[in-house]
């Protein structure tokens, strides 16, 4: 994202098991996770969409996003 000139912040889950980016598009922040194999792509998602996301991958059980919201800009 940085090489493309898109302002971004890397988000780390509370246990550092996963990370993704917040990107600033037209003055608003959105989640951008390029991880494949979690059931769907998560591009330009809001905090509410990330909080509601659950995926049961069968091997590791239900996957949810878990991060300290207070450390990052809020999405629309």
Residue 67, pLDDT > 70, answer: yes
Per-residue pLDDT of 17-50, as tens digits, reads 889 999 999 999 999 998 876 667 788 999 999 9
Determine the structural domain holding residue 42 and report its residue range: 8-71
- Say what the pTM is: 0.84
Indicate whether 30 belongs to any domain.
yes
Task: State how far the alpha carbon of 16 is from the alpha carbons of 11, 28, 40, 66, 67, in Å.
Answer: 9, 25, 21, 10, 9
Indicate whether 76 belongs to any domain.
no
| pLDDT at residue number 38 | 65
Indicate whether 1 belongs to any domain.
no
Number of independent structural domains in the chain = 1
Percent of the chain surpassing pLDDT 90: 62
Indicate whether 65 belongs to any domain.
yes
């Amino acid at each position: 994202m940085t090489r493309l000139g898109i302002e971004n912040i890397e988000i780390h889950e509370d246990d550092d098991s996963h990370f993704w980016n917040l990107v600033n598009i037209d003055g608003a922040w959105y989640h951008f996770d390029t991880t494949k194999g979690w059931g769907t792509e998560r591009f330009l998602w809001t905090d509410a969409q990330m909080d509601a996301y659950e995926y049961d991958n069968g091997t590791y059980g239900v996957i949810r996003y878990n991060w300290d919201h207070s450390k990052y800009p809020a999405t629309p």
